[in-house]
A = this chain, B = another copy of it.
Amino acid sequence: MKVLIVGSTALDSIKTPKAENPRLLGGSASHAAVAASFFGPVQLVGVVGQDFPGRYLRLYQRHGIDLAGLQRRPGRTFHWSGEYAANMNQRRTLRTELGVFEQFTPELPPAYRDTPFVLLANIAPGLQHHVLNQMRRPRFVAADTMDLWLKVARSELLRLLRRLDLFVLNDSEAQQLTGEENPLAALPLIHRRGPKYVVIKQGSHGSILSGPHGRFICPAYPLRRVVDPTGAGDSFIGGLMGCLAAARGPVERHLRRAMVFGSVVASFCCEGFGVQRTTRVTRAQIDARVRELEQLTRF
């Protein structure tokens, strides 16, 4: 089945202690869409400006990503620049230029309104609501967020939680949302806000799923070298949703495996700048790392 993905489509200029890469393809929706595309058809909803390179449109297309929902507007594409510290865990935003993103209202092509799987990748909660308002009866809705929205759009985000099947956030966001530093203690407080399933991401330490049938500790694929972690979380949830949409039968049955696939796609994302590594990976390489993770965690 299809996955609709809405989020940011951006140009990222990323500095790490070892390299500097200007104007990479970035944004939550770009990373998530590329990740999901390994598993089945993807519809992308976003906005880009006149400066958006044609080669990035062709990259989306090579991944079979449906671009009917990608608006092209006069002005400049959303541009983020950031810098990572030596340990790759702390990053600092150097500059954010919203460009055409400032006026963005996601409008769904009529054909998208019946798409069964919806991923509201990281974007303002108001826009996430706006997309959901246009959907007929999606089968499974997941959303990601970021610390900024917890600060500046908290009540809209809390209202969104009631409309979700799955809410994904990282450990520091979980603390920001609930006041609980321990993710295990935060989980029940997040469920109380609405989502049936909650995933708390812990970077290189993997993630935890909590749902009506219990919890799952999902491993991260162990990497010896991280080149650029930008988009890893987006790749995780994109891979997860792509995998879920491709599976048959109840979502519950496939959720754990979908997380592991998401985790593996995220590991590839970290091995290159932007989507450079993810776009060169094959499905067979993804499957091989999933099997490796099986071996690595079996006891």
Contacts and interface: CB of A to CB of B under 8 A. Distances in A.
Most buried by B among A181, A216, A223, A299: A299
B222 A215 contact: yes
Nearest to A188: B224
A202 interface: yes
A18 B87 CA distance: 32
Contact of A208 (B184, B222, B294): B222
A93 interface: no
A12 to B, nearest CB: 23
A72 to B, nearest CB: 40
Given A297-B297, A299-B256, A184 B222 contact: yes
B185 A295 contact: no
Interface string A190-216: 000000000000100110100000111
A154 interface: no
A296 interface: yes
Contact of A217 (B181, B219, B223, B224): B219
Contacts of A217: 219, 222, 296-297
A252 to B, nearest CB: 13
27 contacts: A86-B181, A87-B181, A182-B223, A182-B225, A182-B226, A184-B222, A184-B223, A184-B224, A185-B224, A185-B225, A205-B205, A205-B206, A214-B295, A215-B222, A216-B296, A217-B222, A217-B296, A217-B297, A219-B219, A219-B297, A256-B298, A256-B299, A257-B299, A259-B299, A260-B299, A294-B299, A297-B297
Interface of A: 86-87, 181-182, 184-185, 202, 205-206, 208, 214-219, 222-226, 256-257, 259-260, 294-299
Given A215-B222, A216-B296, A257-B299, 20 more contacts: A86-B181, A87-B181, A182-B223, A182-B225, A184-B222, A184-B223, A184-B224, A185-B224, A202-B205, A205-B206, A208-B222, A215-B296, A216-B299, A217-B219, A217-B222, A217-B296, A219-B219, A219-B297, A256-B298, A294-B299
